[in-house]
Amino acid sequence: FFSGSFCQPGCCWAGLCATLWDPRTSASPASDPGPQPNGCGARAQAGRRGPHIRSDCFVEVVLTSGGGLEVTVSSSPEHTKMSKEEIQEVTSEVLHDYAITSARVHLEYFNALPFALLARVETAVRRLGGTYDRPHVSGATVTNLQVLSSAANLLSSENAHTKGVERLRRTFLFVPGNEPRKMLNAAGARPDAIVLDLEDSVQAADKDAARILVRHALSAVDFRGAEKIVRINDAYWAFQDLDEIIGFGVQTVMIPKCEAPEYVRAIGGKIIHLKANRKIKAPICLIPTIESPVGVLKAVEVASASADVVALMIDVVDYLQYIGADVTQGSVASLMARSTVVNAARAARVQPLESDWTETRGDEEFQQSTRDAKSLGFDGRGCTHPQQVRSVHACFAPSPAEIDHAKQVLAAVEAAKPATAILGSKTVSAQAVARASRVLHIAEKLDLIATPRSSGTC
């Protein structure tokens, strides 16, 4: 199983897959060496500080040879979400989980909620080389991991792994994986999905801190029903990201820089392996991202790589940089690639999605690019600011004319049974029926039309 047998013969990822899958050879890359053993006097820091920092904290841990745990806290009078006693208790809990009984800890507190405090203290401890068995769980002890896993299974089952056209994915609000304040504010815009980003928005030196923070956020932050997506890194960091987040409420994994179906299968295989080890039954979806000319040419193979793929996204900005095009002329320069991704997604029966490639928050340029995306056949697009969400939702909502036409199509089919339906002067095709059904399905979800009552039992 660890020999790369899940890859097809000649897979360009086979060597990488086999190395990363085998726990005996899963060494971290030089740029992310992971915890190193340290003794008395060793120190590590984590978190952020400064006059503009909110909902976060800064932690410094120094190992000592005796004297027990000494936790000091500094904060401003307006930072009152946690008392000093609560901060000290949470900090001591994490240190005990890692068998640290003697250390000096100084904390600068900027109104961090418990999940962020836990994540920052854990990051500092792990940078010391603290014993790491299983991830610490926000609001619970390590021994309660199984309880959380069961709850995650139940939650995902109730939400249902609604594949392809069944789940609304109009908006993806990207949130930097190392900024707890933005995580807390993301749900207020009511996007269909929130993407906790471990890739482009996180510097290399903060990858470890972002992984831990995202894990705690997944299990502690109320995202108000939005699909919880994590965009992982590529290559070595991808597998470290998965080790950290699987089993803590992530519903979908976004895979960047996809150029081969074998890579998608390797990511999916790693997730299956982690789910089995952690007794996670809830399904986890995959959204590969196309970012290069090679990816565009392989789009249909990437979209068809796994049954867990539910959508295919194109990152227009990265694609334009690959081909050397002017981003300001992106709608023209990326037309072939965007159309190819739409066709590949439809051929694989998954949703085509587009990234936000403009540099604006909600003006006419952004709205026009959203209308262009819909006209090309995309089902949704990424957002980089909460102000963009409302305009994207408005654009992708079926118009009254679209709803009326869909009703006419289905009525004509019903009236013509069993003969072929004709609407106006045109025969109603199976594709037209499918599109009409999709339009009415979205309209029902958005309460634009009444949901038909069921006449029978389930």
Work out whether the CA dihedral 247, 249, 251, 253 comes out positive or negative. negative
Q: What is the pLDDT of residue 16?
A: 43
CA angle 273, 24, 277 (to 5 degrees): 25
Q: What is the pLDDT of residue 412?
A: 92
For residues 275 and 161, what is the distance between their CA atoms, to the nearest angstrom?
A: 15
Q: What is the pLDDT of residue 153?
A: 53
Identify the bridge partners of residue 71 per DSSP, sorted by sequence position.
Answer: 105
Contact yes or no for 82/112 (Cβ under 8 A): yes
> 5-15: per-residue pLDDT in tens?
334 444 444 44
User: Which residues are within 8 A (CB) of 124 and not within 5 positions of it... i.e. 6 or more apart?
Assistant: 44, 45, 46, 47, 59, 60, 61
Contact yes or no for 295/259 (Cβ under 8 A): yes
For residues 270 and 236, what is the distance between their CA atoms, to the nearest angstrom?
A: 12
Rg (CA), the chain: 24
Contact yes or no for 178/213 (Cβ under 8 A): yes
For residues 230 and 99, what is the distance between their CA atoms, to the nearest angstrom?
A: 30
Residue (of 397, 377, 384) closest to 357 by Cα position: 384
By CB neighbour count within 10 A (0-12 exposed, 13-18 middle, 19+ buried), where does 180 fall?
Answer: buried
User: Which residues are within 8 A (CB) of 413 and not within 5 positions of it... i.e. 6 or more apart?
Assistant: 421, 428, 433
CA angle 393, 361, 208 (to 5 degrees): 95
452: number of Cβ within 10 Å: 8
Tally the residues of the chain. Answer: 458
* 450 SS3 class: coil
Q: What is the pLDDT of residue 247?
A: 95
| E-state strands within 344-425 | 351-354, 380-383, 422-423
Q: What is the pLDDT of residue 2?
A: 29
Rounded to 10 degrees, the C-alpha dihedral 410/412/413/417 comes to: 140
Backbone angles phi, psi at 454, to 5 degrees: -75, 135
229 is written with which tokens? Answer: 């997506």
For residues 47 and 151, what is the distance between their CA atoms, to the nearest angstrom?
A: 29
Q: What is the pLDDT of residue 134?
A: 45
For residues 140 and 132, what is the distance between their CA atoms, to the nearest angstrom?
A: 16
Angle between helices 235-245 and 261-277 (to 10 degrees): 30
For residues 403 and 273, what is the distance between their CA atoms, to the nearest angstrom?
A: 44
Kindly provide the b/e burial profile for residues 279-303, where b requires at least 16 CB atoms within 10 angstroms of the residue's own CB.
Answer: ebebbbbbbbbbbbeebbebbbbbb
Contact yes or no for 214/240 (Cβ under 8 A): no
Backbone angles phi, psi at 159, to 5 degrees: -70, -25
307: number of Cβ within 10 Å: 10
Q: What is the pLDDT of residue 425?
A: 85
Q: Which position has the token pair 């409302």? A: 390
> 257-293: per-residue pLDDT in tens?
999 999 999 999 999 999 999 999 999 999 999 999 9
For residues 360 and 301, what is the distance between their CA atoms, to the nearest angstrom?
A: 33
Contact yes or no for 152/168 (Cβ under 8 A): no
* Chain centre distance of CA 258: 16
Per-residue pLDDT of the chain (458 residues; tens, 9 = 90+): 223 333 444 444 444 444 343 333 333 333 444 444 456 789 999 999 999 999 999 999 999 998 899 999 999 888 889 999 999 999 999 999 888 999 999 999 999 999 999 999 999 999 998 554 444 444 443 334 444 444 455 444 444 444 544 789 999 999 999 999 999 999 999 999 999 999 999 999 999 999 999 999 999 999 999 999 999 999 889 999 999 999 999 999 999 999 999 999 999 999 999 999 999 999 999 999 999 999 999 999 999 999 999 999 999 999 999 999 987 777 789 999 999 999 999 999 999 999 977 665 557 888 888 999 999 999 999 999 999 999 999 999 999 999 999 999 999 999 989 888 889 888 999 889 988 998 998 898 888 987 664 444 33
For residues 92 and 69, what is the distance between their CA atoms, to the nearest angstrom?
A: 7
Give the Å distances, CA to CA, from 83 to 88, 125, 217: 9, 22, 21
